Structure 1
Amino acid sequence: MSSEVEARSHGWRIEPREYARHERRRGRRFAFTRLVPARTALVVIDMVPFFVGGNPYCLGIVPNIHRLAEALRAAGGTVAWVLPAVGERTAVADEFFGPEAAETYRTSGGTGTMTERLWRDLEVHADDLLVEKSAASAFFPGRCPLPELLERRGIDTVLITGTVTNVCCESSARDASTLGFRVIMVADANAARRDQDHNATLHTVYRSFGDVRPTSEVLTMIGS
C-alpha cells in the first residue's frame, strides 16, 4: 500500500426516506434477502494502479474486496476481475476529454498480463474470471465477455465492487440489472473521489437498479 496515501472509508448512507419508500412498495427494505453462493459472482471493477494508487478511498476498499472474494470462493461462488482494455484512439474521445486526457484514460489499464495489471494487494485464484472491458460498463453487450461467462456458470446475482463508483461501477450495475441479474452494490467496497459522488450512485442504484448493502451484511448472506 502506498506510503504517501492513507486509506480512507466513504461516509456512505441511504436516506431513511428511500428505505421507507421501498418498504411501503414491497413490504421489506431489501429486494434480495437471500443469495445462493454458487449462483453469485463478485464483480471487481477497474482495481488497477492508475485508479487505486492515488485515491485513499480505493485503497480503503481493498480489504473488503479481499474478504468478500475469500468468503464467496469458499462458499462455491465466482470472483470476476474486470480490467480496462486498451482501446483504439477515437476522435470523439479526443474531442470530449482533450487529446492528452483521452490517451491517459485509453491506457489506464496498464501493461503486462491481466494478473500483473491488477492492484498488487489483490489475489487472483485459478477458478476466478479475468476479463477486459472496452466500455465503462462490464455488462454492455459486445464490449465485455463477462455476461456470457457468468451465464455459463449459472450466475443470477452479482455483487458490484471496485472503482469508480459513479462511473464504471454504476454503469455496470445499471446494465447488469437491464440484463436480468439480481444486483447488489456493496457500499463499502466501491470507491469514488468524494462522498457526495459515491452516495449519489448508491441512491440511484438502491432506488432503481438493485440493493445497496455493506460488506458485513453481504458476508452474512454468503454464509447463511
Structure 2
Amino acid sequence: MIDMVPFFVEESGYCRGILPNIIRLADALRTAGGTVTWVVPGSDQPNPGLAREFFGDEIAEVFRTSGGAGPISERVWAGLFPQEQDLYFEKSAYSAFFPGSSNLPGDLRANGIDTVIITGTLTNICCESSARDAYACGFRVIFVADGTAARRDQDHNATLHSIYRSFGDVRPTDEVVSLLSA
C-alpha cells in the first residue's frame, strides 16, 4: 500500500474512491496469511537540490514533507485501519524498490515473499515506479487497477497499459481477493 497518507487522500476524490478496495485487499491478504505493508514518503531525499531546482523551493518542501512526521504506522490514513502486525516502511525515492530507497525488498525476501500486490497513489508515479523496480528486482507484480489512483484517468490508464505490457499482471480488486481466498 503505497503513499496512502493524508496529503494524498485528502487532496483527491480518486484516492478516496480506492479506500474501500484497499481495505478489502488488506483484510483478504491478512486472512490468507499474507503480509500487508504500508509505504510512506520519507522526508530525507537523496538529491534535495534537484527537487528544489525542478519544483522550486516552496513546492519541493511541500513534497518533502508530504509523508508527514512521526511513527510510520500513524502516518498512514487512519481510515485504512493499519494493524500492528503489518510492516511499515519509509521510502526516499518515488519507488519503494529502488536500491537504497527503503528496506522493503530485503525484508520481503527475508520473509520468503516473492509476489507483491501494488495499491496506492499516485498510479503513474510512485505505484508505477515501485512496480517497475519490483519486477526488476525479481518480484512477481500484481497491480490492482481499482486499488490505485492518479489525478487524471488518462494517466491512470496509461500506467495500467504499461504495467500489463511489460512489468506485471493488472487485475481488479475482486479478482485479487478471489485469488487470495483460493
Whether the TM-score (by the shorter chain) exceeds 0.5 is: yes
- TM-score, structure 2 as length reference: 0.97
Identity level (%) = 64
- Letter aligned with residue 204 of structure 1: S
- How much does 1:164 deviate? 0.2
**Whole-Å separation in 2 of the counterparts to 1:113 and 1:142:** 20
Q: Where in structure 2 are there 5+ consecutive unaligned residues? A: none
Structure-2 residue corresponding to 1:17: none
Summarize deviations over 1:128-178 as a string: whole Å, max 9, x none.
100100000010111110000100110011000000000000000000000
For the residue of structure 1 that corresponds to 2:174, the secondary structure is helix
Summarize deviations over 1:197-219 as a string: whole Å, max 9, x none.
00000000000000100000001
- Letter aligned with residue 153 of structure 2: D
Quick check: 109-118 or 200-209, which moved more? 109-118
4+ residue segments displaced more than 3 Å: none
**Whole-Å separation in 2 of the counterparts to 1:126 and 1:118:** 12
- Letter aligned with residue 80 of structure 1: T
Bigger fraction of residues in helix: 2
Summarize deviations over 1:59-117 as a string: whole Å, max 9, x none.
01111000011011011000000001111572211111111100100010112221221
- Letter aligned with residue 169 of structure 1: C
Structure-2 residue corresponding to 1:57: 14
**Whole-Å separation in 1 of the counterparts to 2:88 and 2:11:** 23
- Letter aligned with residue 125 of structure 2: V
**Whole-Å separation in 1 of the counterparts to 2:69 and 2:43:** 9
Equivalent residue in structure 2 for 1:128, among 81, 86, 108: 86
Tell me the C-alpha RMSD between the 2 structures. 1.0
- How much does 1:123 deviate? 1.5
- TM-score, structure 1 as length reference: 0.79
- How much does 1:124 deviate? 1.8
Give the structure with higher Rg (CA): 1
Equivalent residue in structure 1 for 2:44, among 82, 87, 94: 87
Q: Where in structure 1 are there 5+ consecutive unaligned residues? A: 1-43
**Whole-Å separation in 1 of the counterparts to 2:101 and 2:73:** 20
- Letter aligned with residue 147 of structure 2: A
Alignment of 1:44-193 (within 5 A): 44-88=1-45, 90-193=48-151
Summarize deviations over 1:11-44 as a string: whole Å, max 9, x none.
xxxxxxxxxxxxxxxxxxxxxxxxxxxxxxxxx0
